[in-house]
Structure 1
Amino acid sequence: MRIAAISDIHGNLPALEAVLADIAAAGVDATVNLGDLLSGPLWAAETADRLMALELPTLAGNHERQLLTVPPERMGASDAAAAGALDARRRAWLAWLPRTLRLSDEVLCCHGTPDNDLVYFLETVAPDGWRVATRAEADERAGRAQHGMPNSVILCGHTHVPRVMRLSDGRLVVNPGSVGLQAYDDVHPHPHHIENGSPHARYALLERSDDGWRVELRSVPYDSEAAARRAEEGHRPDWAVALRTGFVS
Structure 2
Amino acid sequence: MRFAAIADIHGNHLALEAVLADIRAQGIEDIVNLGDCFSGPLEAGKTADLLMGLDAVTVRGNHDRYLIEIEPVKLHISDAFAHAQLSPAHLDWIRGLPFSAVYRQEIYLCHATPTNDNAYWLETVSRDGLVHLKLIEEIEAFAAGVDQRLILCGHSHVARMVRLRDGRLVVNPGSVGAPAYDDDLPYFHKMEAGHPFASYAIIEKSAGHWLPSFRNVAYDFQAMADIAARNGRQEWASGLSTGWLR
Q: Same fold (TM over 0.5)?
A: yes
Question: How much does 1:73 deviate?
Answer: 3.2
> Deviation of residue 86 (structure 1)?
1.3
Q: Secondary structure at the match of 1:32?
A: strand
Shift of residue 71, structure 1, vs aligned partner? 2.3
Instruction: Letter of the 1:77 partner, please give it.
Output: I
Q: 1:74 Cα shift?
A: 2.6
Matched, 1:43 2:43: yes
Q: How does 1:62-211 map to 2 (within 5 A)?
A: 62-129=62-129, 130-146=131-147, 152-211=149-208
Instruction: Structure 1: give runs of 5+ residues left out of the alignment.
Output: none
Range moving further from structure 2, 82-91 or 9-18: 82-91
Q: Extract structure 1 runs of 4+ deviating beyond 3 A.
A: none
C-alpha distance in 2 between matches for 1:29 and 1:211: 21
Give the direction of change, closer, same or farther, for the CA distance of 1:44–1:29 in structure 2 (3 Å limit). closer
Q: TM-score, normalised by structure 2?
A: 0.97
CA distance 1:29–1:44, shift in 2 (3 Å): closer
How well do the aligned residues superpose, as a CA RMSD in angstroms? Answer: 1.1
Letter in 2 for 1:137: E
Aligned: 1:247 with 2:227: no
Indicate if the aligned counterparts of 2:31 and 2:55 stay in contact, CA closer than 8 A: no
Deviations 1:106-137 (A, max 9, x none): 21100001111111011012212221112111
Paired letter, 1:144: G
What is the DSSP-based 3-state SS (H/G/I as helix, E as strand, rest coil) of the residue aligned with 1:54? coil
Normalising by structure 1, report the TM-score.
0.96
Q: 1:56 aligned to 2:53?
A: no
Paired residue type of 2:99: R
What secondary structure is seen at the aligned counterpart in 2 of 1:219? strand
Using the TM superposition, give the Cα deviation of residue 55 of structure 1 relative to its aligned residue in structure 2, in angstroms.
2.9
SS of alignment partner, residue 176 of structure 2: coil
- Counterparts of 1:229-244 in structure 2 under 5 Å? 229-244=226-241
The match for 1:218 is 215
Q: Shift in Å at residue 29 of structure 1?
A: 4.8
* SS across alignment from 2:57: coil
AA aligned to 1:168 is R
Partner-residue secondary structure (3-state), 1:108: strand
Name the SS for the 1:127 alignment partner: coil
Task: Tell me by how many angstroms 1:72 deviates.
Answer: 2.6
SS of the equivalent of 1:202 reads: strand
User: Which deviates more from structure 2 when the two are superposed, residues 216-225 or residues 129-138?
Assistant: 129-138
Is contact 2:23-2:29 (8 Å) kept?
no
